[in-house]
Structure 1
């Protein structure tokens, strides 16, 4: 239900008289460019707290946006207010303690570049996940948050440990994260990384290599594989392989030689600073048209026949159904799972740990009239991945959940948090019993 317009006006009046940040409304200069309700100047924690309390007072819905790297609607709000953190992007590094503290609006480039000045790095985004050190949340030491009642708290293993458990996997359901402190790791040497592109007829070779790598990598080598059309392959479906090795070109070539010897259409690999890894994938995730992401999990080894005979035809089918959908991609991760699997699933709220990999099904299209077709296509392909895993994948002991960051369509809280859901609900009742933070896998029913 939309809020009363008079309540919105009252909220705007209160905020403009209270905040140091500028409040933008549809009649404000610059509103169209930002499409946000406030944050023309750098927000502070008091502003954020006052905004949360004001929204509750007047019954105005709100959402929180930081890096905006999502295709879900969790960072947007119709007939309400957006707390935009993107200018809250300060990073500080303590090289002696080996910690990195990043404000809530930072993107990984901010963190990577600041850490690199001290020969350090932490586990970050999709490309520079450091599988020798587990998941991002396994390297999180503390988080400062504005809660639903406007209070500012710091959660860690020593302070509010129940909240700290919950936010490592479900932070969006508990408050506005305004500051993170991460454990840092020494990273002085450059890494060998880049992109190789192959025609689709090399599918057996590429996926045999990726499967084998997962059985031999010590955590220093990984690949991501993207199936999509490419201008470098005359507009046909191709296999783009993002390669990573935490070491020299010489040591990398001994591992990746089967791919290097396979006459790739594109060979753009080199030693580079570790801090550049996140940006390496930027051309893949260029400015989007209409888009949505859907996740699923698969197990190793993945049959090349599944990619060639199921996934590739599905992409072609979407192209035939929807004009201007050529930027659609299916992205498969091949990361060593040993480190993150050492930590029990119940140790954090994140329910997605185990000896399995993630696939991101990402339709991209142009016209709103095709929204339903594209979303249903993504759901159908995810179902095919699950069917493949159940019919041909090796048995594994742990239950398989959904990776929430890749699923913006159909997952339910149980599917994301698995065995942790009941405990999450109990912690939610303590810190946000009124369900103020109800975006993206809400834990309490309205």
Structure 2
């Protein structure tokens, strides 16, 4: 008689103690359960478990530790890294923990760890409340919150994690604790920036903000000959806005530019106000005669949905972050970045879906928070670049990952040689990285404290799928 493997023993134990769905290879729904944003991620999980409560999560973590079986936690599955995958191990999929509860008087919103931002938007319809969230509502609440969280309302109210009041966390020993400013405050400090390294957050408690629709937003498409005017406007917007207006500019061929095989420009614009006040702010762009113009007064929820259809899941892809200071030189874009994109397009099949995205947000609000107040290290007066690459063939995986780092390096050199000196700390934005950065470069001055807290809360490095805090 053969000796049962650790996975078999674990599976039998979980089936005996849990009532939730447990999928093994070949089971109905298994193939869909292991799909990720990035098809290049190895993810032949031996077991996918769908807990329905914190107690379920606790039991799974305890059993994985008992049998020394590696596991990963999945929620929105929006990352291009291996962070939510576990080839040969267990995936704890939080999709069934997806409640949203609103307290109107206090503006407190409690969100299950498996929610995506669309779940939150849908729950807030008619409540006259809005949350700080990312710009694509298909993103999971957990991942973006625990790693930072930039978005349209961040210039008004701070990062997503700055609006987090408390969290319920399952720790490495299976215990279920609440982390807040008054309870387990050191853990609360750590999860706001490095949460994936410390436990499974099964519930978030956020502060929402009073809100009245409509806002004004949409896409403005331009040809490459208008590059100087578009990016020049972005530079000025950061300095002139009070935080009500923001813009994200994408250089791409497809799908955003609609320019076939020529690099084009898509400006995604947002204004917290009515159409008249918005058009006064964005008049210089509107006067350029954009070839695409979808701007209109709309609900905040619809703004968060307007890029979701284009930001499709699947395919071989990777993301990487970088940072720049304004004013960003258009010459750098035209003479360095665009030729790099042309070379990529000529050499790598399927790379025409790639985008390089430049954010233009007023950073004052999140810079008001001292960098050591949370684990999030990226609070300098800089703007983010998101390098989002797509390709077709496995043989190009390594080359594309290298190219993502190469472009990030070019941005860093441009900032160092031609940019305005950065005020405050400049690190890698971990949510945009595919885990190629070192944790020191993500957490900066907070790294040493995180390493010490890791020894307290997870001494055996059970949560090992995110940036390493083990020395």
TM-score bin (small chain):
over 0.9
The within-5 A match list for 1:23-422 is 23-35=22-34, 37-39=47-49, 43-126=52-135, 127-230=151-254, 232-422=258-448
TM-score (norm 1): 0.96
RMSD: 1.4
Worse-matched range after superposition: 27-36 or 79-88: 27-36
For 1:187 and 1:130, the matched residues in 2 are separated by 14
Given that residues 375 and 409 in structure 1 are in contact (C-alpha distance below 8 angstroms), is that contact kept between their aligned partners in structure 2?
no
1:431 Cα offset (Å): 1.1
1:409 Cα offset (Å): 4.4
Given that residues 122 and 130 in structure 1 are in contact (C-alpha distance below 8 angstroms), is that contact kept between their aligned partners in structure 2?
no
1:377 Cα offset (Å): 1.0
Given that residues 194 and 243 in structure 1 are in contact (C-alpha distance below 8 angstroms), is that contact kept between their aligned partners in structure 2?
yes
1:28 Cα offset (Å): 2.2
Given that residues 168 and 177 in structure 2 are in contact (C-alpha distance below 8 angstroms), is that contact kept between their aligned partners in structure 1?
yes
1:323 Cα offset (Å): 1.1
1:24 Cα offset (Å): 0.9
Given that residues 131 and 209 in structure 2 are in contact (C-alpha distance below 8 angstroms), is that contact kept between their aligned partners in structure 1?
yes
Given that residues 233 and 265 in structure 1 are in contact (C-alpha distance below 8 angstroms), is that contact kept between their aligned partners in structure 2?
no
- Report the 3-state secondary structure (helix = DSSP H, G, I; strand = E; otherwise coil) of the residue aligned with 2:156: coil
For 2:335 and 2:466, the matched residues in 1 are separated by 34
Residue 309 to residue 409, structure 1, CA distance change in 2 (3 Å): farther
For 1:412 and 1:117, the matched residues in 2 are separated by 43
- CA deviation profile, 1:210-252 (whole Å, cap 9, x unmatched): 0000010000000000100046324321000000000000000
- CA deviation profile, 1:377-423 (whole Å, cap 9, x unmatched): 11111110000000001113423110000111421010000000111
Residue 234 to residue 397, structure 1, CA distance change in 2 (3 Å): closer
1:45 Cα offset (Å): 1.2
Q: Which runs of 4+ in 1 moved over 6 A?
A: none
Residue 44 to residue 409, structure 1, CA distance change in 2 (3 Å): closer
For 1:284 and 1:311, the matched residues in 2 are separated by 22
